[in-house]
Structure 1
Amino acid sequence: MDIFIIIFAGFMTGITTVLFGFGGGFVVVPFVYHIMTHQQILSDRAMHIAVATSTAVMIFNAGWASFQSWRAGKLTASLLFPLMWFIAVGAVVGSLLSGGINDEIIRILFILYLMLTLADCLLRKGFVIASERRMLKGFTARMGGIFIGIVAALLGVGGSVMTVPLLRRHGYEMQKCVSAANPLSLPVALCGTAMYGLGGVHFSPGEVWIGFINLKILTLLTASGFMGMLFTRRFIPAVPDELHARIYIALLATVLIAILI
């Protein structure tokens, strides 16, 4: 039964990667957390395992989606830089902090993070209906990027849930926001994977583990995620901008409910 849950989660992750820039975290974390809590020997580290495995999945999903966007000419350098460098700095800090934080605290932070993001999207103007386009200012890019990197690496969510609203509020279409979200998630994925792999060496309960990363689950998620991305590009048509934003909000609400349950 767990294998089917993992394959389903991976397939959905592939779809959300292409449509919303979610490279793994918001789908993978709740599912893997649920599976680990039902294994007594691993339950006290369930959230660490879920976050660690999620960050590793993002390397493959976000990397492939970024390559496809680059090949299609959908990436804009001015949209990615210098924000990417500041996210990378924040990702290093967040990865270093993650090893010393209790598992339940990470879960609570994940829930609060989702609730605040949902409230921001629903209550402030400029997300559902895009505002007039304006460039990211230096201070916003620096402080926003570092903050995104810290939170994303700490919670294993890639940062897309912050980069998409940030760019959306600067007047960019959802498709451009999503295309930028995947490469902007890569620094988080790389730093987080390295940290959880090396920092959890003492934990590894068997041969299919690298630190807190479960290689069996990672392989299943990556393979099924790739199928999900192919399915999306071939069979799901382009979504109108405003509807795209509304579905994004609905997806965040669904993940919040999943992690609460």
Structure 2
Amino acid sequence: MDISLQEMVWLGLGLLAAGGITGLLAGLFGVGGGAVIVPILYELFRYLGVPDDVRMPLCVGTSLAIIIPTSIRSYRAHLARGAVDTDLLKIWAVPVVLGVLIGSLVARYAPAELFKTVFVVVAGISAIRLLSGKDHWRFGETLPGKMAIRITGLVIGVLSSLMGIGGGQLSNLFMTFYNRPIHQAVATSSGLGILISVPGMLGYIYAGWPRAAEYPDVAALQPPMALGYVSLIGLALFVPTSMLTAPLGVKLAHGLSKRRLEVAFGLFLLLICLRFVLSFFE
């Protein structure tokens, strides 16, 4: 479809602004910002004429690619403050990556509704837990054994790759259920984003390559605009501002009280749920 220069300028400015919000969220909540990236890209790709059956996975794959630099920047900032549980990240590393690769293969065949449903269920449970403020919502006072942690990592990897997120919502929920402080959960989640986003991006390039060949007339799916299910134009416009604002989010996170951070994160997740519930009726 033909798009005027003015429309392209507004799209570009919108993506740059969204990148700034993404970086802020990455640092503030320990998430990669995928919950913001995916709905914004969904509207952009609809505007660019990307077919419905490949639009959502294109959003998710692009989101995972965008998360890479913001997660790295956020993780380094939290690590410098000594807030990251590096031992937990080491246990999670292999099963999380394996889960991401499994999720990427599922994405090749999954309908768009699956991605949205996973978003709503996971984000809704997380929001209720955080906004309730009830500390007795716990599975235990300490983390379970290594096998249980590895299984959890596998599940987090699969779900994160289907949601286009860095795993922050899921790992935050897991850690706080086992009595870990919210600040430590947020900081550790930023490192998990790196483990998820890199193999996730590669998996979506692989999954989307044959699908893009089915739509040779859709420029947004073809090189140099995209590689498989990863939009290069979306990546180029999101990353610069997200890198700039990630450290600001980290600073805000460490300046908030435990309860305020929980409430802010819970409200943020409720907005995600609302956005995708409404999308079922579009």
State whether TM-score is above 0.5.
yes
Task: Classify 1:258/1:220 alpha carbon distance in 2 versus 1 (closer, same or farther; 3 Å).
Answer: same
Match of 1:4 in 2: 13
Q: Which residue of 2 aligns with 1:192?
A: 200
Deviation at 1:31, TM superposition (A): 0.9
Tell me how far 1:57 sits from its aligned partner: 1.0
2:31 to 2, 22, 26: 22
**Distance (Å, rounded) in 2 between the aligned partners of 1:245 and 1:122:** 7
Mapping of 1:148-159 within 5 angstroms?
A: 148-159=156-167
Distance 1:73 1:170 in 2: 20
The reply on whether 1:241 has 2:249 as its aligned counterpart is no
* Contact in 1 for aligned 2:74/2:247 (Cα 8 Å): no
Structure 1 position 121, deviation (Å)? 4.1
Structure with larger Rg: 2
Q: Secondary structure at the residue paired with 2:209?
A: coil
Q: Deviations over 1:171-222 (max 9, x none)?
A: 2222111110011122211111001112212313242211121111111111
Unaligned runs of 5+ in 2: 1-9, 213-220
- Match of 1:82, SS? helix
Distance 2:15 2:51 in 1: 17
SS at match of 1:81: helix
- The aligned residue for residue 96 of structure 2 is 87
Q: Is the 8 A contact 1:86 1:141 kept in 2?
A: no
2:161 and 2:116 map into 1 onto residues whose CA distance is 14
Mapping of residues 59-208 of structure 1, within 5 Å: 59-122=68-131, 125-126=134-135, 133-202=141-210, 203=212, 204-208=221-225
Aligned residues: 260
Map of 2:5 onto structure 1: none
Matched position secondary structure for 1:75: coil
Deviation at 1:120, TM superposition (A): 4.5
Aligned partners of 1:63, 1:124: CA distance in 2, in Å? 30
Sequence identity (%)? 19
CA distance in 2: counterparts of 1:132 and 1:193, whole angstroms: 34
Inter-partner Cα distance in structure 2 for 1:237 and 1:124: 19
Gaps of 5+ in 1: none
Alignment RMSD: 2.5
Q: Which AA in structure 1 matches 2:239?
A: T
Q: Residues 105 and 189 of structure 1: is their aligned pair in 2 closer, same or farther, counting only changes over 3 Å?
A: same
| C-alpha deviation, 1:134, in angstroms | 1.6
